[in-house]
Chain A
Amino acid sequence: MTQPVSPPRDDTPKLSSKAEPSPWRAVVARADVRTLSLLGVLAVLILIGGITKPDEFLDTRNLQLVLTQASVIGVVTVGMTFVIISGGIDLSVGAIVALASVWATTVATQDFGFTGVLFTAVLVGVGCGLVNGVLIAYGAMVPFIATLAMLASARGLALQITDGNTQVVTIDGILDLGERDSYILGVPPLVLMFAVVTIIGWLVLNRTTFGRRTVAVGGNAEATRLAGIDVRRQRLYLYLLSGLCCGIAAFMLIILSGSGQNTNGNLYELDAIAAAIIGGTLLTGGRGTIVGSVLGVLIFTTITNIFALNNLQSDVQQIAKGAIIVAAVLVQRRTANTT
């Protein structure tokens, strides 16, 4: 083997030499800044809640309630986070939750008992995700349009199934899960389900090839395709995953409300997107964290709770939410620029 002329080595970028000792730490530190600032916001909120309504807010029952409320939207947000990291969007999550919750609570479905309801909810979710995914990945439809169409159709179908009526659940096994007696060490089963989904979501995003591909597709789909990865199949899987999360959330909502309604999951899409965004997920794809999204959900739910305890109407809540989204994105832009 011939040894070529000794090549010059003068193309080392000037920037990196300074960061040489521990760039890993720099990366970790930056991630931490984002997470810590979200934790800080949450701490401030808890402080505000504790000061304004010391007895009610810090009451165990209230905290259980907050976490339970966060759980349903939280599961949806985990799926949404994957989709947004991949550069997509899923506007149909709320509608899928509604459709899955009513389909799973029809009289016919309830004949099949607990597992019948659970499976139906999950299957409807996955089925809707499949339609989304096929349209987007193989039909080359823009995610915004495809999922907007799904939003409209799924809501319509949900209304058709219920005819606007509330479908009461009569299965004790399901109703029991919402009762105090089934709390495990004071933790409601719904919160546990949320925790499990979060942990699995974190592991999938950070420790599996599926997670890697999700980030790669969102960062640069063309480069990912040219690297030999099946981008379309990955996109299909991502919308399936979002649908699956919606199905699980629908089941949780059935437990929570003891019923299925076509108005369930109203505006979940906006809440989930907002939570992911304030959690640091780039709407353009390529970057995002499960932890950030979950903190985003907790922040929103806590605000809602504090406002409700202080007898502030939902209009004020909405305004506050909007302000928080803007503030969070502005703060993140600043930290991104200075690093």
Chain B
Amino acid sequence: MKVYLLKRFAFAFFTMFVVITIVFFLYRSGEADPAHIMLPPDATPKDHEILTKNFGLDKPLIIQYFSFLKNAARGDFGKSFRYNESAAKVLFQRFPASLQLGVAAFLFSAIVGLAIGILSAVHRDGWVDRVGRVIALGGMSIPSFWLAVMLMLFFGVTLGWLPVSGRGEGGLLDTLRHMILPAFCLSTYPIALITRLSRSSMIDALKSDYVVMARIKGVPEFYVNIVHAFKNASITLITIMVPMFVYMILGSVVIETIFSWPGIGRLVIEATFARDYPVVQIFILLITFLITTAYIVADVLYAVVDPRIRFQ
């Protein structure tokens, strides 16, 4: 297991290296000149030259790449062109907002999705199952940005019940009120996915002989479902839900843009339009790091649940 984990980490590191290299060259091969973007429209050619030199943009690409790697190894990912501040700092200032929204949405989708999925499997073709199927189809098919716009229209514009923009200034209650719509819109697709997945894996588990055996032993139905069936079903769920959690805390470009939520999703799309490479670069690095870590965490959790893996 230890050797395995080490291997996985080595591979994760390698992945990040590959990704960052590709990103670096893709960006630099674009025609846009970063110095041009950073400068105000009335800047002189002299200004342009100074800036280019300061950022080392005049050196050959390969030299730039190595100095970039050297700095990256020290944890320095360059300055944001737009904010003239460390790109990492810019990113992490915006991270808590995304984290907050992501955690809320994940908890909501996990609770709702698992509840519907498990109940649908236990009472197959019952009313929860029927309603759940519609919810799952809707969650899979209705684009979250459209849902966001419609909910904004209804709750924000027509009824005026909920705020539709920003993170809220005041206390906890205000924050919660601001979070309801974005968190709900962020969770529709995950709910659909978790519902479908937990339903099908629960049904598989409920069909197995050990479940019949548990009933034969006189184990009450509740414990049959949770201890025997759900534990087995959770193996599949772990491999999907752990990466899902990471994606959700990394902020949704769409939802954050629509609700003007000051998270990293919105930061990144702004940075993209402004060609603020360092910010996008470090965001991609963060994503790659977290996703690869998520897969490792999923594997570890897998081993926690399944003794067969643990004892290998």
Q: Do A and B come from one complex?
A: no
B residues adjacent to A (C-beta < 8 A) = none
A residues adjacent to B (C-beta < 8 A) = none
